Structure 1
Amino acid sequence: MALSSMTGFARSHGASGPYTFEWELKSVNAKGFDLRLRLPPGWDDIEASAKKRAGEVLSRGTVYANLNVKRANAVSSIRINEDVLASVLKVAHALAGKIDAVAPSIDGLLAIKGVIEVVEPESNEEEDKAARIAALAAFEQALADLVKMRRREGVTLGQILSQRMDEIERLAKKAEAAPGRKPEAIRARLAEQIAALLETSDRFDADRLNQEAIMIATKADIREELDRIASHIAQAREMIGKGGAVGRRLDFLAQEFNREVNTCCSKSNDIELTNTGLEMKNVVEQFREQVQNLE
């Protein structure tokens, strides 16, 4: 299974009887999955089916789905509500004898709420049912196109992530080969520091200082961190190769990478090793940023 991005866009069209409709789907990054539907009035009954189907093929990302529907030959008509108009005229006639006012005009009467009613054309139950089935089929097509686009983006992301793994591996090998982390180099630096201390005072215990030197050398060793980084690289490559919804696991792995690299930098007692660690930290951050786009 290929990797899949969480971002994508798709559109589909359909028609059934007097209805024509258009779906527009857009997905963006999110921690979980959420389908946000925007449906025209009277089409709410397709929401449950659309959400169920989307949840079957997508596991992460917020998807905004808009449905636009048009009905051919659907011309609304206007009619006068005779009962409301009669009530208004009765009140106007009653007030005419009590106050000095101009007789109500036609446009004034028509502007009163409830006097004019907009009558929608009558719908056909069979046509409406068929249109909803066709609209769900069009949604299925748009959803399939969205999945395809997200997977195309996922292929590109997979290539980028693999490149980042190669860079991290190269830098880890560079750190391992750094002259400054070799035992003899550490001993030489510590010997220089001890010698400098002994020259300034005769109160230092040479044996005690040698013991402390051994402890410091042990703490400065990054062998364990490099081994864990190598293990993380292997895990990341396996996940990228298998594909699927691995975004969360790779995000966790990116945090583990960052932790190990930070430890390497904190243990470093050599400028070259520190620079290598900082470079590796930058690549890990690039890896983490790309992982945020994965499903």
Structure 2
Amino acid sequence: MVMSMTGFGRSVKQTDKCMVQVEIKTVNHRYREFHIKMPQQLSQAEIPLRNQLSKQFNRGRIELNVKLSGNISPGKELHIDWGLLDSYYHFIKEAKIRYRLTEEATLSDLLRMDNAVLVEETGDIDVEVLPLLFGAAEDAADQVLKMRETEGNSLSIELDTYISSLEELVQKTKELSPMVQKTYTERLRSKLYEMVKENIDETRIVSEAAIFADKADISEETARLLSHISQFREALIASGPIGRKMDFIIQEMNREVNTIGSKANDSNIAIMAVEMKVLIEKLREQVQNIE
């Protein structure tokens, strides 16, 4: 089955306490690449989220955006630097003696000291948030996959049309190929007759024609090209990621067509080679968006 790499999905999950919105957008890419944006307090969920999405997407650039709203208070911890507080306290006592101060050091004085008492977020996620996050991500991914499947079906029809047209051109080229030697032989005989105006050495003509036929023979190229077309059709109905395989097959098809165009030495075959290259380029453009 042909799957496109382009898709979009959005899902919102909420409770009375909070709401999580997940948007997933995928575009074509040579490999699988994740770009995830989410609130800092959800950062510890990024790796599990990647693992979940990796089971659903084999190839492409996956852009995921998470929005969190509601009454969600991250866990907090109190960090006290007792060594620093001791230093502050001893400093206050020494300053009091040195400058003959009467004020006593209070607890509020110590708490105002920089970096002595810190309140830090623990990074723990509210127990209600994770199920919402993973549920929304799964629903959004399902929407993306459906869109990719729909577009993949359209691509499959288009690719089948192109590959059928290419196969017709290859068959016509194959049929024309034997005529090239015959045309060359007749043209050679005609030119020799114009030059010598007498009996022509048929043995020489046959020899020259055989040499030309060997150089202009494209039977192997057309056979391989038809084989590549058959492999391409098999890939169209195969399961799993097929984009890279198709891209490789297209490279090989292009190689064979280039050889046909350079070897055939015939204007009609040269024209068909150009038409084949146009179709192959259309195939290449579409295959770039297949998973």
User: Which residue of structure 1 aligns with residue 144 of structure 2?
Assistant: 146
Count the aligned residue pairs. 245
- Is structure 2 residue 214 aligned with structure 1 residue 218? yes
User: Which residue of structure 1 aligns with residue 42 of structure 2?
Assistant: 43
Alignment of 1:123-272 (within 5 A): 128-178=126-176, 181-195=179-193, 210-272=206-268
Whether the 8 Å contact between 1:7 and 1:27 is mirrored in structure 2 is: yes
User: Which residue of structure 2 aligns with residue 15 of structure 1?
Assistant: 14
Whether the 8 Å contact between 1:32 and 1:62 is mirrored in structure 2 is: yes
| Residues 46-87 of structure 1 deviation map (CA, whole Å, 9 limit, x = unaligned) | 10111001111211100100001111498xxxxxxxxxxxxx
- The percent identity for this pair of structures is 33
SS in 2 for 1:253: helix
Aligned mates of 1:214, 1:168 — CA distance in 2 = 29
| Residues 78-115 of structure 1 deviation map (CA, whole Å, 9 limit, x = unaligned) | xxxxxxxxxxxxxxxxxxxxxxxxxxxxxxxxxxxx9x
User: TM-score normalised to the size of structure 1?
Assistant: 0.75
Gaps of 5+ in 1: 75-113
Alignment of 1:49-64 (within 5 A): 49-64=48-63
Give the counterpart letter for 1:283 in structure 2: L
SS in 1 for 2:152: helix
| RMSD, matched Cα | 2.7
Q: Relative to 1, partners in 2 of residues 1:29 and 1:182: Cα closer, same or farther, differing over 3 Å?
A: same
SS in 1 for 2:222: helix
| Residues 170-198 of structure 1 deviation map (CA, whole Å, 9 limit, x = unaligned) | 11122123377343223212333444565
Gaps of 5+ in 2: 74-113
Aligned mates of 1:254, 1:156 — CA distance in 2 = 19
Whether the 8 Å contact between 1:8 and 1:27 is mirrored in structure 2 is: yes
User: Which residue of structure 2 aligns with residue 277 of structure 1?
Assistant: 273
Aligned mates of 1:50, 1:189 — CA distance in 2 = 71
Give the counterpart letter for 2:151 in structure 1: E
User: Which residue of structure 1 aligns with residue 84 of structure 2?
Assistant: none
Q: Relative to 1, partners in 2 of residues 1:249 and 1:188: Cα closer, same or farther, differing over 3 Å?
A: same
Which ranges of 4 or more aligned residues in structure 1 deviate by more than 3 Å? 122-125, 179-183, 192-199, 204-210
Q: Relative to 1, partners in 2 of residues 1:256 and 1:194: Cα closer, same or farther, differing over 3 Å?
A: farther
Aligned mates of 2:227, 2:218 — CA distance in 1 = 14
